[in-house]
Each structure stands twice: as C-alpha cells, then as structure tokens.
C-alpha cells in the first residue's frame, strides 16, 4: 500500500485504465452472459442507498420497508400474496438458503442426518456448493428427450434421506423449464421440500405467459413449491448483486435463523450478515418504473431477438440443439467441433460461452444485444460456414 495519499485524479486515471480492459455490454459483443447493464433508474437508486445495511434493519427501517415491498411485488407475479424472504446477493446465495432451510426442517421433523438433494444434470453449480457446505449428497438426475428433468427417475431416486427436490425454470445452459407440476406431485406425496430455481426465468416466464406464450407454470400456485430463487440482476434489469429468495411462509426462514443478540433484530436467516440495502432499493425502483407492462415488453423483445437469430442460424445450415423456450440459443456447426467453432468466433471478438451438456455454442439474448449486433454475428457465422 502507498505510504502517502494519492490524488483523486491519479486514482481515477488508474481506474479508467483498468476499466478500459473490461468488456462493455454496450459493445454488443458479450453474447454469453446472463447479466446485462442495469436500468438507469436502478443504478440511481443503488447509489442512493449505497451505505445502508440490511443486516441491521433496526437502523435502516426505511430500507427494510423497501425490501418488504420488493418481495411483495415479486410475489405478485409468482402467485403469492405474502411471501417471506430476502433480497440477497444472487442465485447462489438464494439456492443455498433454500437448501439450508429444507435440510434443517427435514432434520427436525424426520430426523434426517445424512441428507440428499435431487437435482437435474442441468442444475447450476451453486447446488454443488450448497451440498458441500451443508454436508448433503447431491443426486444428479438425467434429462428427458426435451432436456428437462426426467421425473420418473426423480421418483426412483427418492429415499428416506431426501431433504429437497430442485426444479429449474430456465436452465442455465439451455433455458429449458422442468415440469414443476410433476415434481410437485412427487414432493407432496413424499412430504419433501420442492425448490424452484427460477434465477434466470423468473423475470420472463410470468410476463411471457401474460402475452400468451405457451410456457408451463412454475410458481407458488403449485402446491408443492416451497421456495423460489429469482434473480433481479439477470432478467430483472437490477444491478449485480441483486438476487431474491422467496419462501411460502415464515417457518422456512425460522428453520435457519440464528440469534443475533447485539443487533437491532434478534435473529438472522441470511447467509450474509452485513448486506446491501442498495440492491433492494434498486430492485424496487426498477420494478416500479417498468411495471408489469415494461417487463412484458422486455421479455418479449428478448424472445423476438432469439427467434430472429434462431431462424437465421438454421438458414445458414447450423444445428440448433433444441428449439428455444426462453432467450437462450444453443447450436453447433454441422462439421466443426464446438471448440473449433468457439475459437473462430472468439477470433472475431465475440464473447460467447459453451454449454457443457450437450456441448455447443451458447448465446443468451440479453437486453444489451441489439438487432445490429445480431446481423453482424449472423454475417460472421455465414463467412465461417462458407470458409
């Protein structure tokens, strides 16, 4: 560390140099990210609440009320009037909280000591972290022909140690939606916690359904669903780190609350102690600003861009792995290895990602990707296919 203070200009000149090395969403080259540039309203609210600490809500009563309002607004499009939960740091923390609650309840009510959680092969790696941290065995279930969880295999893999089943509404790699209705039947019959990971799909599926897109239900209107992860910092246009975990009622938070004697509240259920009020304020602000109408438009535009790219990719002779349900496209070149195609696209300065199962190029059509970027990308795919 420097001994003498540096000037503001020195520091910011240096920061500018580092920032210039970062990719910018606005360049339209980031095709493999589930995050995007936050809405200006969200950024404004974020900076306004930058110092507020939701870890000590007695000191920040107003921010706590904002968090409650944000949860209620999210609940309103997930079919629950009075959800309980928190604005957290993202999908990982939300998923860990859901599994922690399920484990503790199963420990208390069924005496389960060596718990297991059932997730699909498509589940996000945050469940590996959850299983490791919570000392649970992770059971991976194969996918069906639609790349969704095979619910027959879920049934077969349930045993006396199962503490949770996870369904996904918008898988990380393919954007597919598991049959939450079927998982709910299995979970309810066996008295097991059903958690839905809608980190990606939560801010689009409900709004696309309002626009009459034929997508399955996944929310609290389904009896067995006990908790839902939904990320404002993905399709919600809120800044990183804005996640959200919702539970059906207070008992799920109580099951993992610890005493916090010297704070202004008596107990705490979040993983993080000192935690941002800024993301709650930003999430509330952008949701209020856009309203349901704004999110319907946002989700539909993303899907229209997806269909535009998918049609053109097919026309060029590339193979789509699956018809997109949400704004993710996964495809391969008919003759090139995925790795080779990825390298050719990277050489042309496209920041793509690759799915691991099945192995393919993965594009997420987020808000920062505009039609003109897609046309440039399609031209490059055309040149690659002809060379």
Q: Are 64 and 54 in contact (CB under 8 A)?
A: yes
Between 122 and 182, CB nearer to ligand 0PR: 122
CA distance 72 to 81: 7
- 238 binds ligand 0PR per the rule CB under 6 A: no
**Closest approach of ligand 0PR to the CB of residue 115, in Å:** 20
Q: Burial, 171: exposed, middle or buried (Cβ in 10 Å; 0-12, 13-18, 19+)? A: buried
* Strand-strand pairing, 162-168 and 193-198: parallel
CA distances from 53 to 86, 108, 216, 272 (A): 13, 32, 37, 11
Q: From the list 63, 68, 92, 238, which residue makes contact with ligand 0PR (rule: CB under 6 A)?
A: 92
The residue among 219 and 231 lying less far from ligand 0PR, judged by its C-beta, is 231
Separation of alpha carbons 219 and 77, rounded Å: 9
Closest CA to 252 of 84, 60, 32, 24: 84
Question: Is 35 among the residues that bind ligand 0PR (CB under 6 A)?
Answer: yes
Closest approach of Cβ 229 to ligand 0PR, in Å?
6
Q: Please, which residues bridge with residue 139 across strands?
A: 118
Q: How far is the CB of 295 from ligand 0PR (least distance, A)?
A: 18
Q: Is 350 in the site for ligand 0PR (CB under 6 A)?
A: no
Q: How far is the CB of 234 from ligand 0PR (least distance, A)?
A: 7
| Binding of ligand 0PR by 235 (CB under 6 A) | no
Shortest separation between residue 2's beta carbon and ligand 0PR, angstroms:
32
Given candidates 199, 285, 330, 366, which one binds ligand 0PR under the rule CB under 6 A? 199
If DSSP states are collapsed to H, E and C, what string results for 63-78? Answer: HHHHHHHHHHHHHHCC
Beta carbon nearer to ligand 0PR, 200 or 220: 200
For tokens 């034929």, name the residue: 214
Binding site for ligand 0PR (CB under 6 A): 33-35, 90-92, 95, 124, 126, 168, 172, 197, 199-200, 231, 243
């Amino acid at each position: 560390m420097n001994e003498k203070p540096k000037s503001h200009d020195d520091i910011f000149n240096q920061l500018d140099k580092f920032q210039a090395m970062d990719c910018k969403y606005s360049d339209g080259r980031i095709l493999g990210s589930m995050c995007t540039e936050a809405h200006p309203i969200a950024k404004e609210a974020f900076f306004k609440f930058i110092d507020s600490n939701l870890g000590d809500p007695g000191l920040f009563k107003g921010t706590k009320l904002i968090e409650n309002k944000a949860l209620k607004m999210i609940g309103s499009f997930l079919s629950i009037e009075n959800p309980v939960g928190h604005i957290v740091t993202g999908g990982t923390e939300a998923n860990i909280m859901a599994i922690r609650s399920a484990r503790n309840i199963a420990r208390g009510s069924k005496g389960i000591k060596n718990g297991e959680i059932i997730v699909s092969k498509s589940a996000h790696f945050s469940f590996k972290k959850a299983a490791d941290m919570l000392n649970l065995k992770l059971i991976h279930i194969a996918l069906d022909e639609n790349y969704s969880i095979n619910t027959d295999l879920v049934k077969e893999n349930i045993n006396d140690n199962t503490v949770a089943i996870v369904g996904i509404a918008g898988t990380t790699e393919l954007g597919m939606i598991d049959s939450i209705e079927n998982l709910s039947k299995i979970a309810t019959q066996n008295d097991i916690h059903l958690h839905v990971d809608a980190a990606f799909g939560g801010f689009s599926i409900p709004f696309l359904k309002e626009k009459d897109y034929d997508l399955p239900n996944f929310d609290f209107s389904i009896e067995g669903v006990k908790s839902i992860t939904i990320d404002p910092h993905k399709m919600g246009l809120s800044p990183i780190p804005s996640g959200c975990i919702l539970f059906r009622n207070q008992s799920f938070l109580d099951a993992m609350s610890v005493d916090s004697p010297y704070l202004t509240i008596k107990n705490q259920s979040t993983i993080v102690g000192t935690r941002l009020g800024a993301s709650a304020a930003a999430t509330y602000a952008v949701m209020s600003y856009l309203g349901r109408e704004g999110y319907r438009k946002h989700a539909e535009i993303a899907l229209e861009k997806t269909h535009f790219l998918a049609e053109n990719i097919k026309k060029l002779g590339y193979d789509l792995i699956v018809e997109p349900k949400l704004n993710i496209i996964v495809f391969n070149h008919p003759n090139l290895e995925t790795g080779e195609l990825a390298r050719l696209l990277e050489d042309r300065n496209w920041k793509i990602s690759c799915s691991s199962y099945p192995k393919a190029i993965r594009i997420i059509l987020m808000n920062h990707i505009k039609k003109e970027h897609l046309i440039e990308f399609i031209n490059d795919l055309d040149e690659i296919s002809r060379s």
